Structures are given as structure tokens and as C-alpha cells.
Chains A and B, each alone.
Chain A
Amino acid sequence: MYRIVDKRELAEKITLFVLDAPLVAANARPGQFVVIRVDEQGERIPLTIASTEGGKITIVVQEVGKTTAHLRSKEIGDALADVAGPLGTPAHIEKVGTVVCVAGGVGTAIIYPEAKAFKEAGNKVITLMGARNKSLLFFTDELAQVSDQIMYATDDGSFGHHGFVTDLLQQLIDEGTTIDQVVAIGPIPMMRATCNLTKKYGIKTVVSLNPVMVDGTGMCGACRVTVGGETKFCCTDGPEFDGHQVDFEELAARNCQYVDKERLSYTMYQEKRGCGGRCHG
């Protein structure tokens, strides 16, 4: 059993959990994830390890459907049926000079351990954080602490730049900032837009992909993505890839495979909780 030892609401529908998972914590490295199951009827879903401390791991989860909603309903003292990991190839961290971390939405939690590791490896770290509005921003203090410079963008202008994170990246490039590497993690359209921009300037860009997974150990191929014209299994070959080589269109299409069933499952869950989805948000 994997006990929840801490829980904190970070932003709208975004919750942080600290889990007791000593075996996972012992070997986890930045860029790796766990596969969890909430209970015996539950689906296996991947979540990034945001940090580790002692025998504990921190995960940050954004509610987008049934499983993430069910997970968010769990309280301190409850336990999850399964937590397996660390999975995936660790992020490649080395001293390259200046690294720009572009984070969108829940990608902020995924990028945090990497920004920290890049900083510790002696890089200059510039973080660009984007979200739909101010209430969705989180980890701002944590990221500010590991960044030499940090900038914000919101789609509605409620905080920082009014527009997309890619505008901020363009601004950095226009100002003549030397950028040795970009790490972009967030929604597919954001990663794609970032890659389109950096490709023009020949800036190496790493992205972290989020296809649907089942086992997370390389056994099913559900997570296959096309990178540089080759099929890769995201859970073992990734989740990080050279963003300029990724077929984002295919990824976006594959992630829609189960929309109808996912909706059904989410709606049934909300109805069972008798709140039509209004009360837990």
C-alpha cells in the first residue's frame, strides 16, 4: 500500500500529493514517472515524479478525467492500490550554458525537477511559465528559486505577459540572448509551437511527450510515437525526445482514441458523486 502523507491544492483542479513509496524514491531521477492505480478497478495512469525526499515522492495531478478526479478525491491517510516506478529514461542533464525551460499548465510540475537539475549542473536557467489564467499558475516560488530569470504569460493577461509563452521565447531570441537548449513541457499545441519557433533558429529543443500508456514498461506499444520517422515507445525510449523530430499531429490524433469512453467514465463518476462536477474544482 502506498499511503498519502500530504496533500495540497496548488491551483484550479491541480493537486499535489506526497506518497510513501520508498523503493521508487530511492532510484528516481529527473524526467522519470510512476504508473499508479487508485484502486482495484482503476486504470493505470502515468504521472511524473516532481520531487523525492526520504522515502517519499511528490506528484502533481491535474484533473482531466475520471482517474485524475478520483485521485484528487483521496485524502491524507488514504492509500493508492499501486505505484510503480521510476519509469522512463531519465532526462539528459549536463552543463550546456543557458537552458530555457518553457512550461505550460501541469507541465510546470514536470519541468520543475529538470530545471532544478540543470541549475545544479551549473547552467543558467531561464524559466518561461504559461497558463490560461493566473489561478492556474503554481510552483512559481519553487521555479523562481532554481531559475536565474523567470517570466510569466497568461492567455487572458491576468498575470505577466498577455499572450503565449512562445511570445516570451521570441522576445528572448530577439533580445539576442544566447540559448543553448530549450526544454518544453506542456500541452501538445504549446510544445509544437515552441518547436516550430526554435527550429527556425536552430536551437536544440527537448520535449516530454504524454501519449496514452497502459503498462509503462515497454510491453504493449500503446505509447508509440513517431520520432524522426521511426516508431518509438515513449515509456521506455522517452518520455523525452528531440522536439524537432516529433510527429505532433500523430500524437494529438492518438491521444483522442478513447475520448468518448473517457467522457462516459468521467460523467458517470461525477454523477455518482452527486455533484455534476460542480463541487470538486
Chain B
Amino acid sequence: MRRTVSRIKKRIDMPSQAPAERVGNFQEVALGYGPEDAVAEASRCIHCPKQPCVAGCPVEIDIPAFLKLIAEEKFGEAAAKIKEKNSLPAICGRVCPQENQCEGVCTLGKRGEAIAIGALERFAADWERLNVPDQQVQEPAKQEGKVAVVGSGPAGLTVAAELARMGYEVTVFEALHVPGGVLSYGIPEFRLPKEIVRHEIEYVQSLGVKLLTNVVIGRTITVDQLFDEGYDAIFIGAGAGLPHFLNIPGENLNGVFSANEFLTRVNLMKAYEFPVYDTPVKLGKKVIVVGAGNTAMDAARNALRLGSEVTIVYRRSRQEMPARLAEIHHAEEEGIEFRLLTNPTRIIGENGWVKAMECIRMELGEPDESGRRRPVPVSGSEFVLECDSVIIAVGQSPNPILTKSLPGLEMTKWGTVVVDPETMETSIPGIFAGGDIISGGTTVIEAMGDGKKAARGISAYLQKKARV
């Protein structure tokens, strides 16, 4: 069966739904490799001695090793190899910005195309899910110590999985009715099917992690109460869920949403299946999405699938767009219009509903603190874009419910939590944090990397505590 593949420079394309077809449904866009393609692609790895790819992965997956196993058609073993380091491989394979991470540093990328590491990780995880229904999990030796994890996003799930593997008793508390954080409420079905999120969370539970939904720490149970109930350490992985608005006139008109509201209605509450599902969503014919990160692309592509025409308005230029490259390509292919170097100045209403948006043209000035060139308005260049819905996707910061309930916790002026970068411990002994709540928003795999570090930090803390 195996195709003979020499060390070709070009990667094997992953099949995907054609743009014209996929905008009419919510099914996954990228379809994944079949076994033959996976073997061929994995066989391209030259097993270069320095293996820069491994260091490019925040959770340090042994990439060459799992590629070799795929090349040898040992797909189950490849999945097991990945899971030694990453409990959520089917998710990461789909949503990591690989071009900036493992694939961005792959040696082959220097003279040709980098190995499709993400796609192969996805392949191995999917293969295992479909072919090995009951994965056996080894019971680790029990360790002294009980840990509470706040939030079930990638950071929380990773801490929980790692600590459970070490033998600690772990309970995850999640505010929403579904676990997964952004994986469940933010990233759309067509990019990350919820069935896959569910399956990987079940895997984490199979490691012995207890998971309680509908518990808002700081309200349902306070952190003090957790300590009183006998938890020895607490990890805060509550994410950065508080949506930013633009603070321009007209933002509370009917038809203006935060991306979080729009995405939650559609992804978590399944508004695209209204009225079978009870939660509605209402979009007009012409939708403007403000922003150009992953959140903006997801909102735009969801809106398109609900039948609207979509324009993205972004104040910087193409180079600065923070979204994953693949998502920007997909959005363009699907017919989303981009208005770059354009900034909204006010939203115009009629009878309480959005009717248009006034924008101003921008040009790039000197670099700012982030190193990106600062956009400055071109005076007198205002113009009006017709629209009947606006989705604001200009970033988010940590939700203050929990942090407000912890007066001693050291925070930055951006509302993120300060931690020791090695142990992930906060200014309060026994409380650790990681993921978007410390960074203000990065990536799934960075959040998982934090989770891994925190698990080591927590374990060291518990060992020390047990000795005294």
C-alpha cells in the first residue's frame, strides 16, 4: 500500500470541503488525512539531528518519534506517544497556529515545506478515537494531596490531567453547563467539532479527574471555602472571557454583539439549529465584524454560514492580522470581504436598530510597544458602511468575578494575574494560575504549556507541604 515517497519538498495537501459547499453547512472544513496520505507525509521527516520542532511545541511532544510511528503504520502507538505529553491531541492538531510553532521551525521548511505536524497529530488522534474505543488507562500510585481547578479550558484540563496522572485527587469546577472553555463556546463546530472536544474531555476524566459544571468559583463556592473543604492547592484557569467593546456611540443598539455573545449563542447554545434548540440568534443581511484575530475570523465565518454577507473591518494591515494563517485563507476563500486600515468611529441606528457604521481610514505610523506599527487616523477620511449587524471582536480580558473575591491576589494593570514563571504560583501561597488569565489571551497550546508547568509547580508544593 505504501507509496514510495522520496524526500520531496512539497507537503501532501489535506482534503477539505470546497468553499462554495462549506459555507452552506456547519460541518468541518478540513477533512483530515487518510492513512495513505498520513504515512506519505510522515515519511517526509528527515529526522534531522537537532529536531527543532520539539522545542517549537510548548508541550514538547516527541514529534520525530510519533512521525516515525505513523510512517510505520503504527497509528495507535503514535497516538500514545503524543499523549505522553499532550492530553488533547485531536484539538491541538486542529487549532494550533502551527506556522508559528512546531512547523514554523521545522528544518524542512527552510528549503521546502515544513512537515504537516498538526495535521498528522490530528490524524493519529482521530484514528485512535475511531479504532480504539476503550483506551486503557493505568492507575498511578496515589499521592497525598487534593487539588481544585477553576475552569475547564485547555489550561485547567491540562493541569487536571497531569496531576491525575501523578496520582493526585483533582476536581475541576466549571461555571458553564458544558466543559471546555473557548473550545466549547468560542471555536466553531466547522473548525473543531464538539464531538471531538467531548471525547478528549472524557479522556481526561478517564484519568480520574472529577468535573463539576454549573459551579462559579467566587459565587457558588469561594476560594476560602475550597481550602476549608480540604483542598490543598488551587489552580485558576478561568481564562479571559470579559469581552471588550470599542466605547464608541451606538454600541448598545439592537444588532450589536460582542463576538463572545454571538459565538456562545451559535456554538454553545446551537442557535444555528433554532428552533430545535431554544436559543435564537438574529443577524441581518449585512454583517460587519470588527477585528482580525481568531475570534473575528470565527465570528465572520459563522455569520456567513447563517446566510449573511460579511465584511471584516480592521484598523491595521494584513501583516498584523493576529489570526491563524489557515483561518484567514479560509475566510477569504469563503468570500468574506476585508476592509483593512479602517477603524469604526460610531454605529448609526434607526428605531433602535443598527443601520450603518461610520469608519475612518488609517495609516501606519511608528511601531508601538507591541512592535507593530501604530495605526493613526487619516483626518477627514470618514465614510459610512451600510450594515444591519455588528460583531465586536477586539479582544478580551480576565473576568473579574473570581479575582475580585481574592483581595490579596497580585494583578497587573491589565487585570491579569501575576505568577512566578517557573512554578506558576500566584502571590497567594497554594494558589496557582495559567492560561489566558495570566496572558490576557494567547493560544490553546500556550495555555496547555502553562498547565503543564503549573502541575509540576503544584506537585512540588504538595510534596513540600506533605513533609512539614
Q: How far is the CB of A115 from chain B (nearest CB, A)?
A: 23
> Nearest A residue to B251 by beta-carbon distance?
A231
Question: Is A188 at the interface (CB under 8 A from chain B)?
Answer: no
Total residues of chain B contacting the partner, CB 8 A: 40
Interface string of B69-108 (1 = CB under 8 A from A): 0000000000000000000000000000000000000000
| B254 in contact with A253 (CB, 8 Å) | yes
| A219 in contact with B241 (CB, 8 Å) | yes
| A262 in contact with B221 (CB, 8 Å) | no
Question: Is A169 at the interface (CB under 8 A from chain B)?
Answer: no
A77-85, A92-100, A128-136: which lies at the B interface? Answer: A77-85
Chief secondary structure at chain A's binding surface: mixed
Chief secondary structure at chain B's binding surface: loop
Q: How far is the CB of A202 from chain B (nearest CB, A)?
A: 28
Instruction: List A contacts of B175 (CB < 8 A).
Output: 84, 215, 217
| A218 in contact with B399 (CB, 8 Å) | yes
Question: Is B280 at the interface (CB under 8 A from chain A)?
Answer: yes
Selected from A44, A83, A219, A268, the residue in CB contact (under 8 A) with B279 is A44
Total residues of chain A contacting the partner, CB 8 A: 41
| B254 in contact with A218 (CB, 8 Å) | no
| B219 in contact with A85 (CB, 8 Å) | yes
Instruction: List B contacts of A73 (CB < 8 A).
Output: none
Give the distance in Å from the alpha carbon of A264 to the alpha carbon of B274 in the complex. Answer: 10
> Nearest A residue to B404 by beta-carbon distance?
A236
Instruction: List A contacts of B243 (CB < 8 A).
Output: 219-221
Instruction: List B contacts of A224 (CB < 8 A).
Output: 252
Give the distance in Å from the alpha carbon of A257 to the alpha carbon of B254 in the complex. Answer: 6
| B219 in contact with A27 (CB, 8 Å) | yes
Give the distance in Å from the alpha carbon of A213 to the alpha carbon of B260 in the complex. Answer: 13
Question: Is B265 at the interface (CB under 8 A from chain A)?
Answer: yes
**Chain B CB within 10 A, most for which of A23, A221, A224, A257:** A221
B118-126, B210-218, B294-302: which lies at the A interface? Answer: B210-218
| A262 in contact with B399 (CB, 8 Å) | no
| A256 in contact with B280 (CB, 8 Å) | no
Given contacts A37-B177, A41-B276, A218-B400, contact A254 B252 (CB under 8 A): yes
Instruction: List B contacts of A231 (CB < 8 A).
Output: 245, 251-252
Give the distance in Å from the alpha carbon of A265 to the alpha carbon of B280 in the complex. Answer: 9
Give the distance in Å from the alpha carbon of A231 to the alpha carbon of B254 in the complex. Answer: 14
Q: How far is the CB of B268 from chain A (nearest CB, A)?
A: 9
| B282 in contact with A258 (CB, 8 Å) | yes
| A215 in contact with B176 (CB, 8 Å) | yes
Give the distance in Å from the alpha carbon of A89 to the alpha carbon of B225 in the complex. Answer: 19
Selected from B255, B282, B399, the residue in CB contact (under 8 A) with A217 is B399
A-B contact pairs, 10 of them (CB 8 A): A27-B219, A27-B225, A43-B269, A81-B177, A87-B216, A214-B269, A215-B176, A217-B216, A218-B399, A265-B280
Nearest 6 pairs of A and B residues by beta carbon: A261-B280, A220-B261, A43-B278, A84-B214, A253-B352, A219-B241
Residues of B within 8 A of A (CB): 175-177, 213-216, 219-222, 225, 241-243, 245, 251-252, 254-255, 257-258, 260-261, 264-265, 269-270, 274-280, 282, 352, 399-401
